[in-house]
Amino acid sequence: MPRPSEGVWPGLATPPHVPARARIAESLFRRAVKELPVRVVFPGGERLGVGDDDSPVMRIVRPAAFFNRLGAGSKIGFGESYMAGDWTSTDLADLLTPFAARLSTLIPPTLQRIGRRFAEARQPSEESNTVDGSRENIHRHYDLSNELFTTFLDETMSYSSAWFAPGSDDLPDAQRRKIDGVLDMANVRSGQHVLEIGTGWGGLAIRAAQRGARVTTLTISAEQAKLAQERIAAAGVADQVQVLLRDYREAQGSYDAVVSVEMIEAVGMEYWPTFFAALDRLLKPGGSVGLQAITMPHDRMLAARSDYSWIHKYVFPGGLIPSVEAIEDNVAEHTGLRIAERRSLGPDYARTLAHWRETFMARWADVAGLGFDDTFRRMWEFYLAYSEAGFRVGYLDVFQFSLQPRPAHYSR
């Protein structure tokens, strides 16, 4: 396996040298995988796990580098070691699924406390979701390249969970069904003025305009704004849709409906009250909000709020996935709204991510032609497979919520 380029991936090409921590990491890893339905194979032929011939295989290519990376920072080192080629798998999502299913109990509490003594990674101060910090965080992911996202997303350019119709595996149709589901949650109708927080590449704004609404949509990604405007014009609704490079905290006006799809995950826990208060402030009396949000169990969210993980470092800096309880609390405490309806799409997100991963890998030559290297390929594959595994086992979920005015004497 070729190692990452030091010039492109500084600090990744050469694994850290932390022998004492590496020994602890190896002990924890061996204990963790001993009862998993996988096959972990070492260069000398040693095998761990209770998997059979049909179980996914994790092949350790460079054991010393692998355990040193785990020892230096387990939450980051596991993904980095895949990026660096220290281990491989023939089907990454299948391998990561049993790990995800046992994520909270994989390592006994006593050993977790020992491991935390060595967890030194903390969120860099510049990744805090201030107005300026949010722009930089979004830039690092969504401004990678519009062409990159075009290679693996479907024709709707939707970068969020689809909602598959029974018996169908058609991704574009499922994405359109998801968009209509969110718009229905917000009761979007002809003649309304709709605010969208988080433009993406314009798919929802186009659909709302096709319903006869006027749309103001906000994004802080310059690359997304550019392509969204092109797509909106091509759809023939440019006279109904205004794309603004603006943070939700800077939004002004009053709207019949507000919609936001999988944007809250980038807000940051300390700004959730501000986000929900903004929804309330921008909504006309009697209006509705359609919100789509990835969620995790509340206890895991509380544990994750102080973590700095591989996902933060390489994919979504500054993010935190909320729990349903956190959303309920923020709606109750910072708005005059209530959650009137909710719909879970968790299994649909696992299917959506499988589509993206398969397409990304199948079209890798096109991605490489844009200038991305093999380390980026392994990074993106790990991100998509890691996320898919989380939704497969229910460690992650995704909901569509309808937020509506709270009636008098309402009690949650």
Please name which of 69, 97, 95 lies closest in space to residue 83, comparing C-alpha atoms: 69
> Would you state the pLDDT for residue 319?
86
Contact between residue 174 and residue 361 where contact means Cβ atoms under 8 Å apart: no
Q: What pLDDT shows up at residue 111?
A: 47
Which spans in 13-145 are helix H?
Answer: 19-33, 63-72, 74-83, 92-101, 109-116, 131-142
Can you give the pLDDT at residue 261? 98
Q: Please identify which residue in the block is written with the tokens 């060595």.
A: 118
Contact 41, 49 (CB under 8 A): no
| Burial group, residue 86, by CB count within 10 angstroms (0-12, 13-18, 19+) | buried
Taking Cα atoms as reference points, which of 166, 204, 390 lies closest to residue 292? 204
How do the residues of the chain divide into helix, strand and coil, expressed in percent and rounded to 5? 50, 15, 35
Whole-angstrom distance, CA of residue 94 vs CA of residue 78:
16
pLDDT digits (tens, 9 = 90+) for 162-210: 999 999 999 999 999 999 999 999 999 999 999 999 999 999 999 999 9
Q: Which two tokens stand for residue 143?
A: 């401004």
Sign of CA pseudo-dihedral 144, 215, 330, 326: negative
Domains of the chain are: 19-116 (no CATH), 125-405 (3.40.50.150)
**299 burial via Cβ count (<10 Å: 0-12, 13-18, 19+):** exposed
Provide the pLDDT for residue 333: 97
In degrees and rounded to multiples of 5, residue 380 shows phi and psi of -70, -40
Which ranges of the chain have pLDDT less than 50? 108, 110-111, 118-120
The dihedrals phi and psi of 261, each to the nearest 5 degrees, come to -115, 115
DSSP alpha helices (H): ranges in 145-288? 146-152, 171-185, 203-210, 222-234, 272-282
Exposure b/e, 165-192, CB count within 10 A at least 16 = b:
eeeeeebebbbbbbbbbbbbbbbbeeeb
pTM: 0.92
Cα separations in angstroms, 250 against 49, 118, 178, 271, 398 = 52, 40, 28, 14, 27
**Do 228 and 146 contact (CB within 8 A), yes or no?**
no
